[in-house]
Amino acid sequence: MSRVKRGVTSSAKHKKTLKAAKGFYGRRKNTIRTAKAAVDRAMQYATRDRKNKKRVFRALWIQRLNAAVREHGLTYSKFIGALHNAGIEMDRKAMADIAMNEPASFAAIVEKAKAHLPAAA
């Protein structure tokens, strides 16, 4: 059986890892052992944060809507409840964008929602 020299494959693997570690600080970018650990950890964070990004943006839209709705004398939760009662199905991303960029249009949406507020008990 012939001998297999692994120089080509291992250097290719190392090159791939070091390319992924480009821009890292200190030895993490050019020493294969530390670069491999850093890249593995970075991939874990990337996977986790793809999920977290969705949560963070939803929270941002809710904060923007709450601020915009309070200018019209409502709270966020009452506004969302009134929207459901009015049958207006609009996602928070679009409403937050309208609230920021087109205040007149948002005021019209708020007025429609206010008309469907449940009567105070």
CATH of the domain at 74: 1.10.1900.20
Question: Do the domain assignments include residue 87?
Answer: yes
Question: Do the domain assignments include residue 21?
Answer: yes
Q: pTM of this prediction? A: 0.77
pLDDT of 99 over the 90 cut: yes
Residues spanned by the domain of 98: 10-115
Nearest to 13 by CA among 39, 49, 52: 39
Q: Give the per-residue pLDDT at 52.
A: 97
Question: Do the domain assignments include residue 1?
Answer: no
Report residue 90: phi and psi, to 5°: -135, 135
d(CA 98, CA 50): 26
Question: Do the domain assignments include residue 51?
Answer: yes
Q: Give the per-residue pLDDT at 120.
A: 60
d(CA 84, CA 118): 11
As a whole number of angstroms, the longest Cα–Cα distance in the chain is 89
Instruction: List pLDDT tens digits, range 35-86.
Output: 999 999 999 999 999 999 999 999 999 999 999 999 999 999 999 999 999 9
Q: Which two tokens stand for residue 35?
A: 């670069």
Question: Do the domain assignments include residue 61?
Answer: yes
DSSP states of 67-116: HHHHTTT--HHHHHHHHHHHT----HHHHHHHHHH-HHHHHHHHHHHHHT
Question: Do the domain assignments include residue 54?
Answer: yes
pLDDT of 121 over the 70 cut: no
Residues 20 and 46: beta-carbon distance below 8 Å? no
Question: Do the domain assignments include residue 5?
Answer: no
Using DSSP, state whether 120 is helix, strand or coil.
coil
Q: Which two tokens stand for residue 62?
A: 């809710």
Mean local confidence (pLDDT), 89-102? 96
Counting the structural domains of the chain, the total is: 1
